[in-house]
Amino acid sequence: MATLTYVYADSTAVLGPLAQHAEPHSYDLCVEHAERLTAPRGWEVVRLTPEFSPAPPSRDDLLALADAVREAGRRTEPEPAPLPEAVGAVLNDAPRRGHLRVLRGEG
């Protein structure tokens, strides 16, 4: 909801609207933390926005959501490890019933 930027040379913390680009010494805050912000003793807090309201959805938000959905759709489960040769031979020779296999046991 807000971006906090420190100006160390002036001992000032500036709290303003959410920044569009990342900057050194700047941090994005939620509403709760932006409203409760305090600065170290001897520092000044400059609030550029008295009230914090959510920004309307932007085209970037929609594209980020579409990319996340697209990426989730690409994920595939890893292929199971191949069975040891002896087990594979038993399974291939065993009669099948639908999706089940009958395994011959000893006894």
pLDDT for position 34:
87
Confidence (pLDDT) at 30: 87
What are the structure tokens assigned to 84, written together? 């040891």
What is the mean pLDDT for each group of 10 consecutive residues in the chain (107 residues)? 87 87 84 88 87 72 85 74 60 61 66
What confidence score (pLDDT) does residue 56 get?
72
What pTM was estimated for this model as a whole?
Answer: 0.47
pLDDT on residue 42: 93
Three-class SS state of 87? helix
Q: Which residue has the tokens 């040379």?
A: 9
94 to 98, 106, 107: CA distances (angstroms): 12, 14, 16
**pLDDT given for residue 98 in this prediction:** 65
